[in-house]
Amino acid sequence: DGPLQGIAKSPKDETVKPPPMMVAKADQAEIDARRAREAAQKQLADIYFAFDKWALTTEGKKNLIQSADALKQVSNVKLLIEGHCDERGSREYNLVLGEKRAKETERFLLGLGIRNAVAVTSYGKERPVCTEHEESCYWKNRRAHLILEGAK
C-alpha cells in the first residue's frame, strides 16, 4: 500500500478559501490619495483666453473658482499650470504669451487661497488640441490647462 496508506483514492472536492486580502494602512492611504487626486483632476476646467490676451475672462474666473474648490480637497499635491496659444504669431511670442496666461491663472488661484505647490510652464503653440486653421478651432488652443501631479 505504501506511503499513501489510509488516504482515500478519490478525495472529495474541497473548496480552498483564498487568504484574506491584507492592505497595509500606508498602501490604503496611497490608494485613497490617488483616488482623491483623480477625482479632483476631473473637476479642473481649462481656462480660455481672448486672442493675444492673458487677462482672465469672467467665464475663466468662474471656472477657476470651481477648480479651486477641487484643489482645496488635495492641498498636498503639486499643481502644474500649462499656458497654451493658437498657431498665430511667432514661436517665441507665443511662448511668452503662454507663460503670461499660466502665471495669471496661478495668481488668481493663489488669491482664492490655493496652497498647493504650483509650477507654471508654457508650450506656446506647440501642443494644440485642435489643428484646423479657423477661429472655431483657435479659441480652443488659447488656454491654461491645470494638471495635478499623480492624477490621470
The answer to whether residue 98 sits within a structural domain is yes
Does residue 111 register a pLDDT over 60? yes
| pLDDT band of 8, cuts 50, 70, 90 | low
The CATH number covering residue 59 comes to 3.30.1330.60
Is residue 124 situated within a structural domain?
Answer: yes
- In angstroms, rounded to a whole number, what is the distance separating the alpha carbons of residues 142 and 129? 10
**Residues 116-137, mean pLDDT to the nearest whole number:** 94
Could you tell me how many residues make up the chain?
A: 152
Q: Using the structure block, give the residue that is written with the C-alpha cell 499513501.
A: 4
Residue 5 pLDDT > 90: no
| Residue 3 in domain | no
pLDDT higher than 90, residue 109: yes
Using alpha carbons, list the distances in angstroms from residue 76 to 10, 26, 70, 71, 85: 60, 16, 12, 9, 29
pLDDT of residue 25: 65
pLDDT in tens, 22-50: 556 668 878 888 888 888 888 899 999 99
More confident call, 73 vs 81: 81
pLDDT at residue 146 in the model: 96
Number of domains in the chain: 1
112 pLDDT more than 90: yes
Q: Which domain holds residue 120?
A: 46-152
pLDDT at 119: 96
Mean pLDDT, all residues of the chain = 87
User: Concatenated DSSP letters for 85-132?
Assistant: --S-S-HHHHHHHHHHHHHHHHHHHHHTT--S-EEEEEEETSS-S---
Q: Is 123 part of a structural domain of the chain?
A: yes
* pLDDT of 127: 96
Q: Which of 81, 91, 87, 90 is nearest to 117 (CA)?
A: 81
Average pLDDT over residues 53-82: 93
The answer to whether residue 10 sits within a structural domain is no
Is position 112 within any domain? yes
pTM of the predicted structure, to 2 decimals = 0.78
Residue 12, in any domain of the structure: no
Residue 101 lies in a domain: yes
Q: Phi, psi (5° rounding) for residue 37?
A: -60, -45
- Helix %, strand %, coil % for the chain, to 5? 45, 15, 45
